[in-house]
């Protein structure tokens, strides 16, 4: 039978999905239109800071032997006033990463960067259990 209840329900579901996908497609075209319209106008900030805020960069590290030194070097090269920049290294490593981060932090402290290294004690408990 043509007008059965199942046929009507499937038709309504099909039309709902069709309308949703069509709305998504129209949205995509609208986003492309806005991009093409404004691509030659660079964004301008609403205002500038009168005084820059203090910024803390936190670097959680866990057994990153090959990455730790490059990471700390990259962060130390941030283009921000050194007096307003604090870098915290949160190290929970079980390998020689601790020594690497401590040595790098001592190096960069001598350059007057504010480096803090926090080393968490190793406990035989999983991380989510420690966070509770």
pLDDT tens for each residue of 26-79: 999 999 999 999 999 988 888 888 999 998 888 888 888 899 889 988 988 888
CATH fold label, 55-131: Spore Coat Polysaccharide Biosynthesis Protein SpsA; Chain A (3.90.550)
Lowest mean pLDDT of 19-23, 68-72, 73-77, 126-130, name the range.
126-130
Residue 14 above 70 pLDDT? yes
Average pLDDT, rounded, for the chain:
83
Using 50, 70 and 90 to split pLDDT, how confident is the model at 102? confident
* Distance, CA of 7 to CA of 12 (rounded, Å): 9
Residue 113 has a pLDDT of 60
Nearest CA among 131, 110, 115 for reference residue 58: 115
Query: pTM higher than 0.85, yes or no?
Result: no
Query: What proportion of the chain, given as a percentage, has pLDDT over 90?
Result: 29
* Distance, CA of 62 to CA of 98 (rounded, Å): 9
Find all residues with CB under 8 Å of 127, minimum gap 6, and list them: 92
């Amino acid at each position: 039978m043509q007008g059965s209840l199942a046929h009507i329900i499937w038709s309504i579901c099909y039309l709902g999905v069709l309308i949703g996908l069509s709305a998504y497609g129209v949205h995509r075209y609208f986003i492309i239109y806005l991009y093409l319209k404004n691509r030659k106008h660079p964004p301008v900030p609403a205002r500038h800071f009168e005084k820059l805020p203090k910024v803390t960069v936190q670097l959680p590290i866990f057994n990153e032997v090959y990455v730790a030194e490059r990471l700390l070097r990259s962060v130390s090269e941030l283009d921000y006033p050194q007096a307003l920049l604090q870098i915290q290294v949160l190290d929970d490593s079980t390998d020689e990463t601790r020594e690497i981060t401590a040595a790098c932090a001592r190096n960069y402290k001598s350059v007057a960067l504010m480096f803090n290294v926090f080393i968490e004690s190793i406990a035989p408990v999983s991380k989510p259990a420690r966070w509770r």
